[in-house]
Copies of this chain bind each other. A is one copy, B any other.
Amino acid sequence: MTATPLITLTTDFGISSPYVAQMKGVLLAQVPDVRLVDVTHAVPAQQVVAAALILQDSLPWFPKEAIHVAVIDPGVGTSRPVIAARSRHGYLIGPDNGLFSLFELREVVRLDRPEFWGKQVSATFHGRDLMAPVAAALARGVRLDRLGTPVDDWQRLDLPRPQREDGKLIGEILFADSFGNLITNLTANDVPVPPHQVSLTDHRFRWVGTYGEAEPGEPVALIGSSGRLELAVVNGDAARTLPSTGRVVVQEAAAGCEAAGDGVK
C-alpha cells in the first residue's frame, strides 16, 4: 500500500442514490486520507455481464495498487459468498458472481471473517457493511490472506465467443453503453479493418474509423475506445432504434465472385 490509498467504487445503485455516500462515509471514517473514485453507479441493475465489461475496460487505467470495490449483487441476502482477490490491476472486492471473470485472479479469499466487517451487517447492504470495511482494512495494510479463507474456485461468466461461419465472423451484442451504442463481443483483434460489410439482422452499417466521419442519424460500425466492435447511430441512440439482440455478421472481405456479382446476397 502507498501512503495515500486509492479505492474505486462501481455499483448499480443508480446515479441518484445516497447509498454510495454511505459506503464512502464508512471508508473515510476508517481511512481518513483515502482517495475515492467513482467508476460508475449506473451499471444496469443486476447486470453482471455489463459490469464485468465495464470493470475490464476501466480498472486497467488506474494505478496498480488501487483497491476496486464492485457491488452488482443480485444475490444479496442469499448465501452467495463475497470475495477479495489480487490481480495485475490491483485488489478486487465484490460478490462471487462472475463480476471479475475478465481478470486473471492471483489470490482469492472468501470473506468469512466478521471481525473485519462493520459492527452490524444488514441483510441488504453488504457493500456498506462488509465490502467497504474489508476495503478499508486492505487500505490500512491488512494482508489479503488475513481477511478470509483462500479458495480455488469462484464464479466465472460464460461470455459468448466469436464464431466463424461460411467465411463470416459472427458476434453478439453484449450490452448497450450509456450512449445507447451496442457493444459486441468482437474486438479489434477479431475484425480486419475495414471489413467488407457489417450487419445485424437486416440492418447494415457503414464502417467508419471515427464518429466524426459519419452523418447524424447514420448507422455505423466502428472499433470503439474500448477496442470492441460497436454499432451506433450517430447522434442517436442505437439501443432504442435497432434490435438489441441477434447475430452481428461481419463479412471480412469481398470474395471474388460475390464482389463481381454485387448484390448477390
Contacts and interface: CB of A to CB of B under 8 A. Distances in A.
B40 A78 contact: no
Contact of A21 (B40, B46, B124, B213): B40
Contacts of A178: 13-14, 16-18
B32 A28 contact: no
Contact of A63 (B32, B46, B78, B213): B32
A28 B68 CA distance: 14
Contacts of A8: 21
> How many copies of this chain?
3
A18 B58 contact: yes
A218 interface: no
Interface in A60-96: 60-63, 66, 74-78
Given A14-B179, A28-B6, A212-B77, A235 B40 contact: no
B125 A225 contact: yes
A45 B211 contact: no
A40 B28 contact: no
Given A17-B40, A18-B178, A123-B210, 18 more contacts: A2-B32, A4-B32, A10-B18, A15-B15, A16-B40, A16-B178, A18-B54, A18-B57, A21-B39, A21-B58, A21-B61, A26-B61, A28-B35, A29-B61, A29-B63, A76-B210, A76-B212, A123-B209
